[in-house]
Structure 1
Amino acid sequence: MRRLVDDVPMARSHRDIRGVDARGLTNPRADGRSAAVLMLMSGTGSLSDSLPEDATILLTHRTPTMRSHSGQIAFPGGRIDPDDVNAVDAALREAWEETGLDRTAVTPVAALDPVHIRASGYPVHPVLAHRHSPSRVGVASPAETDDVFHARLHDLIDPRNRLMVGWSGWSGPAFTSHGYLVWGFTAGLISALIHQAGWEQPWDRDTTLDLSATLEKSRNNEPQLNQIRFLR
């Protein structure tokens, strides 16, 4: 994971987070609200620079009845509360609330530069972490999340599981995993992570698929795009 935190921090690479970073497009929230997400990687580890075969990243499926971002694939996370010590504390708390993750099994690696969400103006702080000890995860808050799973990183890197999707003038990277479509903010961060770590393989960036049609073929069960508050 050294490549993810050495040199230029990953969140400063906007190459694959197109449409998500709101620099020059919207003002930050006047109320000072911000959020944090946990990018939790697991794996046996290696002394080499190669990615372990069992390397995974933790993802959740947001319950389709949620008021916002319903049916989308997301990292565990949410708003930073006044009682949270910092973004890392908030990300770990949210992960426990959503998935039952034991924070004592997690080593925070880096709090990356915040990325702003275009629609809301929220600065979101990605927290990169490694699960160093076994910790069972699952659906801990059904009202928020109805599926929790470890996405195998080698599968996400596989060009067969990578695609570009677009809608209403926007386009961005996406992934297929466990029958779901991972897109928007979450896919942008995963794509930037893969690129920054040097794990990327050539994939088709030139063909952009219709987001609505692609979602219809997935398990996401998202509302119609004209009801989606753009973007997650």
Structure 2
Amino acid sequence: MNKPILKSDPVAAGAADFFARSRAKLGFDVPLGLYDPNIIPASGDPGTDKMLEIVAREQPVRPAAVLIAVVDHPEPTILLTQRSAHLNDHAGQIAFPGGKIDATDASPLDAALREAEEEVGLSRDFVEPIGYLDLYGTAFGFRILPTVARVRPGFELTINHSEVDDAFEVPLSFLMNPVNHQVHSKEFRGMERFYYAMPFAERYIWGATAGMLRVLYERIYSS
């Protein structure tokens, strides 16, 4: 299956409008499902949700945090990374800066900011957190809480190649255009699983990253 999920008009994702909408709709209340093992977070795809239920019976679903860093250019962008090819989890995939929440992190926000500094050298001085997006579950056993943030331009990145091969920016207008939200499928543990994909130039944005971008679109522009 490889088709747009919607045929609605594209969103005019200007910076001022996006940040105003985000501040009105997001906050910093931590959802109970981030740490409660009895709550299985949803992804929006029944196949992925079923896989997560299976994984949750086999191992703890681990809390994680990512940073949705929206760079405040005249035409805003989102900062993404390409994970190193040698990693055990999600090797080579497109991702947001982020990772597992450590016991020493004061909050999921703190974890997301720490991971962004460690992975790509994004200084907190350039980051203005806006609020948490919805909790997102993955079939690989993570419960992810994304932090949406405004990032002031002018930062310099230092790539940690033990974790990340590259960092790049994609226009917000492309990612928030539902015409670009394709639905692909693959077999996982004998079940057909559907997932979002947003191919951009030579970058294949898919899986949890594309799923969270879809949630961002629905929360900021559709709700």
Q: Tell me the TM-score normalised to structure 2 length.
A: 0.72
What secondary structure does 2:92 align onto? coil
Please report how far the alpha carbon of residue 181 of structure 1 lies from its aligned counterpart in structure 2 after TM superposition.
0.7
Q: Which residue of 1 aligns with 2:36?
A: none
Q: Which residue of 2 aligns with 1:222?
A: none
Please report how far the alpha carbon of residue 93 of structure 1 lies from its aligned counterpart in structure 2 after TM superposition.
0.5
Size of the aligned set, in residue pairs, is 189
8 Å CA contact 1:61, 1:71 repeated in 2? yes
Q: Which residue of 1 aligns with 2:63?
A: 34
**Identity over aligned residues, as a percent?**
31
Q: Which residue of 2 aligns with 1:90?
A: 111
Q: Decide which of 175, 178, 195 is 2:198's aligned counterpart.
A: 175
Give the 5 Å matches for 1:13-92: 19-21=47-49, 24-27=53-56, 33-44=62-73, 54-92=75-113
- CA, structure 1 residues 129+20, in 2 after alignment: closer, same or farther (shift >3 Å)? farther
Q: Which residue of 1 aligns with 2:148?
A: 128
8 Å CA contact 1:106, 1:133 repeated in 2? no
Q: Distance in 1 between matches of 2:174 and 2:184?
A: 18
Please report how far the alpha carbon of residue 76 of structure 1 lies from its aligned counterpart in structure 2 after TM superposition.
0.3
Q: Which residue of 2 aligns with 1:3?
A: 21
Please report how far the alpha carbon of residue 54 of structure 1 lies from its aligned counterpart in structure 2 after TM superposition.
1.1
Point out where structure 1 has 5 or more consecutive residues left out of the alignment.
Answer: 45-52, 200-232
| RMSD of equivalent CA atoms | 3.1
Please report how far the alpha carbon of residue 92 of structure 1 lies from its aligned counterpart in structure 2 after TM superposition.
0.4
Q: Distance in 2 between matches of 1:19 and 1:136?
A: 40
Q: Distance in 2 between matches of 1:80 and 1:28?
A: 21
Give the 5 Å matches for 1:194-209: 194-198=217-221
Give the 5 Å matches for 1:143-154: 143-154=162-173
8 Å CA contact 1:73, 1:186 repeated in 2? yes
Q: Which has the higher helix share?
A: 2
